[in-house]
Amino acid sequence: MASKPKVAAATVPVEDAKPLEIVAPVIAAQANETTAETVEPAMAAPEAAKTNDVNMSAPLPPLGAVDIKKGMEKAMKSTEELVAFGQGNIEAFVKSSQIWTAGLQDLSKQFAATAQANLDETMNAFKAFSGVKSLKDAIDLQTNFARSAFEKSMAESGKLTDASFKLTEQALAPISQRMTAAIDSIVKPV
């Protein structure tokens, strides 16, 4: 390794010098030192490589037709597996979409039936209100109607919630199975 170069003293008095005139000799000395530490070992590396017994100019062994054929068969098999897996994913998404669509139709029918039943009950209550003779009868009728409507709406909302969760679970089942298959294919022993 080269000896450290000496930093030249500034020839301009410090009081009259500009900042660059003071710092420039120090920066130049550090640059020379860094160059000596990095470039000189790199320049010596080819000489060190000549003493090793490794023949870098030796040709690689030629690949035979059998090796090429095996490599192509392996690549084709991997490609076929990848295409089959992708096709399975598409089929899972299609099946999931079909389940989701059918389930939403059922939920919509159930919701429409509930809304129709509530409308019919409201119309019957309105007819009953029109025949009320006293305020006490009107209050009792309103109380019974409100209680009945609340209980039915709670029961129906519970049914709709359960049906929604069940639908979601059924629709996600094919996708979940594909994800399990993907994880299994990744962690399977080679």
Structure tokens at 174: 């094919």
DSSP 57: T
Whether the pLDDT of residue 181 is over 90: the answer is no
Angstrom distance (rounded) from CA 110 to CA 80: 45
Angstrom distance (rounded) from CA 107 to CA 160: 7
pTM above 0.75, yes or no: no
Rg (CA), the chain: 43
Structure tokens at 123: 């119309």
Angstrom distance (rounded) from CA 121 to CA 145: 9
Angstrom distance (rounded) from CA 33 to CA 2: 8
Q: Compute, in degrees rounded to 10, the torsion defined by CA atoms 181, 183, 189, 190.
A: 80
- Who has greater pLDDT, 90 or 60? 90
Cα angle: 141, vertex 147, 148; to 5 degrees: 85
- Which of 11-25, 71-85, 103-117, 164-178 shows the lowest per-residue confidence on average (mean pLDDT)? 11-25
- Which of 6-20, 23-37, 105-119, 123-137 shows the lowest per-residue confidence on average (mean pLDDT)? 6-20
Mean pLDDT, range 125-135, rounded to an integer: 86
